[in-house]
Amino acid sequence: MEECIEEQQPQSTHSPGIVHDKEMLARFIWRSDHLAEDGSLTPAALPVRDFLDRSRGGLSVARLDYMTRKEVQERVDAFIGSTGANRIKGMAMAETKTIRSIRKNSARVFCVVDDGQVAFQAHAVIRLADHLSLTRSSARRVREQLIRIFAVQPGD
């Protein structure tokens, strides 16, 4: 059974192509409640609804391998402007292969798919695999695995 067929071909004409296992992905952290006192992610940083509700598209991430430092800063500035935050709290990073390695009953849980946009070509999403249907309780458990995978780099 093909668990993540959309990973095998580019999904956006604006992206640099499929997301490879060795790529580093980042999720911008802009709210205080996204970080625990020890600097780790909280569940609020990775909302279950973003991967349970397929119409939401998935968890939005940046493909760092396709961004310069300047582009990361520009993306952070744009992100701050669109969210009303006064500064970025940090960036949570993980390798694609590690995200793809999460399993439930030996089946892949997450797909990592290119989703390049005109103004943000290095955009990708972490989606629930199509064959999988999770209860909210199961979704919270796999989210805990994602939380452990992402390493947080504090903001300025």
Any idea where the domains of the chain sit in the sequence?
5-154
Coil, helix or strand at residue 48 = helix
How far apart (Å, rounded) are the C-alpha atoms in residues 106 and 37?
33
Q: Which residues of the chain have pLDDT under 70?
A: 1-2, 79-87, 156
- Overall pTM surpassing 0.85 (yes/no): yes
Give the C-alpha separation, 57 to 41, whole Å: 21
Q: Residues of 110-136 as b/e, b for ≥16 C-beta within 10 angstroms?
A: bbbbbbbeeebbbbbbbbbbeebebee
Are 96 and 112 spatial neighbours (Cβ–Cβ below 8 Å)?
yes
